[in-house]
């Protein structure tokens, strides 16, 4: 079970790293006709902090594990089974909550670091709701995405990243905590490369 949890953690974390948005003018479902914001130009600011949502159905980025469990227990859209759906991960005092859902939500994933929620992802049921409907709803609320390609559309503010990915998953990410984890990963990789080179130099 621990091995499966580690694989799931790696899948979620590195899936975010390896998916590099490309700016596309054409895309499936006709979304290529909607203008896409490019990288910020000189003097141009990204959306102000708070302009993107950090809460979904009472579940907010930054909340603690007890608050998350309570919110899931009280929401009839989730089939939360308590501590059975909570896994503790070996890296950086992280934990993962994975639960099934009802109606529009098939599965939901919540990742916490040091007791603080920084990623929440919702896999939606394509039989009940389609990608284009979710996409157009987000465009209406938050404007054109920062980046768009056939695999995903991404909105960003100073502290939040909101993405809709194919086949149909909506993700909320706390950029501050995620950047800290990526920075620590870079330091660790650099140290491993240095030790490897030192070892090879010994021959």
Cα–Cα distance measured from residue 57 to residue 72, given in angstroms and rounded to the nearest whole number: 9
Cα–Cα distance measured from residue 15 to residue 106, given in angstroms and rounded to the nearest whole number: 19
Cα–Cα distance measured from residue 127 to residue 183, given in angstroms and rounded to the nearest whole number: 39
**Cβ distance 52 to 160 under 8 Å?**
yes
At residue 154, the 3 state secondary structure works out as strand
Cα–Cα distance measured from residue 76 to residue 44, given in angstroms and rounded to the nearest whole number: 42
Sign of the C-alpha dihedral, residues 128, 131, 137, 138?
positive
Averaged pLDDT, 24-49: 39
Averaged pLDDT, 48-53: 64
What angle, 0 to 180 degrees and rounded to 10, lies between the N-to-C axes of helices 2-18 and 175-201? 100
Say which range, 14-28, 69-83, 126-140, has the weakest mean pLDDT.
14-28
CA separation, residue 2 to residues 7, 79, 95, 169, 185 (Å) = 9, 22, 12, 25, 21
**Cβ distance 3 to 131 under 8 Å?**
no
Q: pLDDT digit string (tens) for 58-87?
A: 999 999 999 999 999 999 999 999 999 999
Q: Can you give the pTM of this predicted structure?
A: 0.68
Quick one: pLDDT at residue 5? 45
Residues 6+ apart with CB under 8 A from 197: none
Q: pLDDT digit string (tens) for 97-120?
A: 999 998 999 999 999 998 999 999
Rounded to 5°, the CA angle 56-10-138 comes to 30
Q: pLDDT digit string (tens) for 136-193?
A: 999 999 999 999 999 999 999 999 999 999 989 999 999 998 888 877 655 455 545 5
């Amino acid at each position: 079970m621990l091995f499966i949890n580690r694989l799931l953690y790696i899948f979620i974390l590195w899936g975010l790293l390896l998916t590099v948005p490309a700016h596309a003018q054409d895309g499936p479902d006709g979304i290529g006709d909607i203008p896409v914001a490019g990288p910020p130009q000189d003097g141009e600011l990204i959306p102000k902090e708070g302009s993107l949502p950090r809460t979904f159905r009472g579940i907010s980025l930054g909340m603690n594990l007890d608050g998350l469990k309570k919110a899931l227990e009280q929401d009839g859209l989730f089939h939360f089974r308590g501590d059975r759906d909570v896994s503790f991960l070996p890296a950086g005092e992280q934990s993962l909550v994975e639960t099934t859902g009802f109606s529009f939500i098939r599965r939901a994933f919540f990742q916490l670091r040091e007791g603080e929620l920084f990623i929440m992802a919702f896999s939606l049921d394509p039989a009940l709701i389609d990608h284009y409907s979710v996409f157009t709803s987000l465009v209406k609320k938050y404007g054109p995405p920062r980046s768009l390609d056939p695999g995903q559309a991404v909105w960003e503010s100073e502290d939040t990243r909101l993405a809709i990915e194919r086949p149909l998953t909506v993700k909320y990410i706390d950029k501050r905590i995620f950047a800290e984890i990526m920075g620590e990963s870079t330091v660790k990789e650099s140290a491993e490369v240095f030790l490897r080179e030192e070892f090879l130099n010994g021959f």
